[in-house]
Amino acid sequence: MTTQEELNATIADLVQPRKGILAADESSPTIAKRFKAVGVESTEATRREYRSIIISTPGLGEHISGVILFEETLEQLSLEDIAIPKLLASQGIVPGIKVDQGKGPLVNAPGDEITYGLDGLAARLEHYKAMGARFAKWRDVFHISDTLPSFQAIKSNAEVLARYAAVCQSMGIVPIVEPEVLIDGNHTIERAAEVSEDVLLEVFKALHRHRVNLECMVLKPSMVTPGKESGKASPEQVAEATLSVFRRVVPAAVPGIFFLSGGQTPEESTENLNALNSMGYHPWELSFSYGRALQEPAQKAWAGKLENAGSAQAAMKKRARLNSLARSGDYLGSMEADN
Distance, in Å, from the CA atom of 282 to the CA atom of 292, rounded to the nearest integer, reads 27
**In the annotation, is 215 catalytic?**
no
Catalytic residue among 19, 98, 137, 220: 220
236 is a catalytic site residue = no
Which among 40, 88, 45, 46 has a CA at the least distance from the CA of 67? Answer: 88
Residue 177's alpha-carbon distances to 7, 17, 165, 221, 279, in angstroms, are 15, 20, 7, 8, 24
Cβ proximity of 35 and 67 under 8 Å: no
SS3 189: helix
Q: Catalytic pick from 178, 240, 268, 285? A: 178
C-alpha span between 183 and 194 (Å, rounded)? 14
Helix 189-209, helix 235-249: angle, nearest 10: 30
Residues 318 and 51: beta-carbon distance below 8 Å: no
Helix, coil or strand: residue 132: coil
* Residues annotated as catalytic (active site), given as ranges: 178, 220
